């Protein structure tokens, strides 16, 4: 089985079984939480999801509100003013994102030609559209919502993965999404196997592995994944 080598996640290749355990831990791992209902003295331990899978990926989409709820599951609740601001941004960006979806013509992100993520192919490329989204001040919630809507095409980038990806941007790249594109292409076989085993798109798998590494949660996720039945 081919290992997964992601420079944005670190210099060492991840054996496929370790990457699979990490993703399974992210999807299904749980942690104990002491829960005491308001107004009562007694409490008890409950098991809650350790990561954002159940609060985001597992939610149904289909509308701006539903996709924004999924984004909150990863990045925390928005106050009323923040909800309006991000909701307005989703509506404002809809023509840009719809044009990118039309240009992709059903191809997933990793199958796009290199020029789609290069300034040499602009204007009108998918990469140019993604850069427009990335420039928004609320980009973590926006990209989470848009990835939830287009899981094959729109990368999810938050402040952790952004810092992981930016140092690997090369001259001519339209933005950091070109780094994601290169790493997916270079590890196509491994991501295909992980996708078949987990049900996640290669794009989401890449995000999860880079985020777990950059947030120093990879070891914990692997341990949770290996403790799961049939892991």
> 231 pLDDT band (50/70/90 cuts)?
very low
Residue 38's pLDDT band (boundaries 50, 70, 90)? confident
Say how far apart CA 195 and CA 200 lie, in whole Å: 5
What average pLDDT does this structure show over 150-165? Answer: 96
pLDDT over threshold 70, residue 73: yes
Which SS3 state, helix, strand or coil, does residue 128 take? helix
Segment among 13-17, 44-48, 169-173, 189-193 with least mean pLDDT: 44-48
More confident residue, 109 or 44: 109
Mean pLDDT computed over every residue of the chain: 94
Q: How far apart are CA 116 and CA 101, in angstroms?
A: 12
C-alpha–C-alpha distance, residues 98 and 24, integer Å: 32
- CA-based end-to-end distance of the chain: 16
**Residue 77's pLDDT is what?**
94
């Amino acid at each position: 089985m081919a290992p997964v080598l992601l420079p944005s996640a670190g210099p060492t290749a991840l054996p496929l079984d370790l990457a699979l355990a990490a993703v399974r831990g992210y999807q299904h791992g749980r942690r104990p939480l002491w829960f005491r209902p308001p107004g009562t003295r007694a409490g008890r331990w409950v098991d809650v999801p350790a990561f954002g899978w159940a609060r985001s990926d597992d939610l149904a989409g289909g509308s701006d509100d539903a996709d924004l709820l999924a984004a909150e599951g990863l990045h925390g609740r928005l106050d009323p003013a923040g909800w309006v601001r991000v909701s307005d941004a989703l509506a404002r960006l809809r023509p840009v994102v719809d044009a990118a979806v039309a240009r992709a013509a059903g191809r997933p992100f990793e199958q796009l030609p290199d020029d789609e993520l290069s300034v040499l192919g602009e204007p009108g490329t998918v990469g140019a559209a993604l850069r427009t989204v990335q420039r928004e001040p609320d980009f973590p919630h926006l990209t989470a919502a848009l990835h939830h809507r287009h899981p094959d095409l729109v990368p999810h980038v938050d402040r952790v993965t952004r810092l992981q990806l930016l140092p690997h941007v090369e001259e001519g790249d339209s933005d950091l999404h070109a780094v994601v594109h290169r790493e997916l292409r270079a590890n196509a076989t491994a991501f295909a196997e992980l996708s078949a085993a987990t049900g996640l798109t290669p794009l989401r798998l890449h995000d999860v592995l880079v985020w777990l590494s950059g947030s120093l949660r990879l070891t914990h996720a692997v341990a949770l994944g290996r403790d799961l039945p049939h892991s």
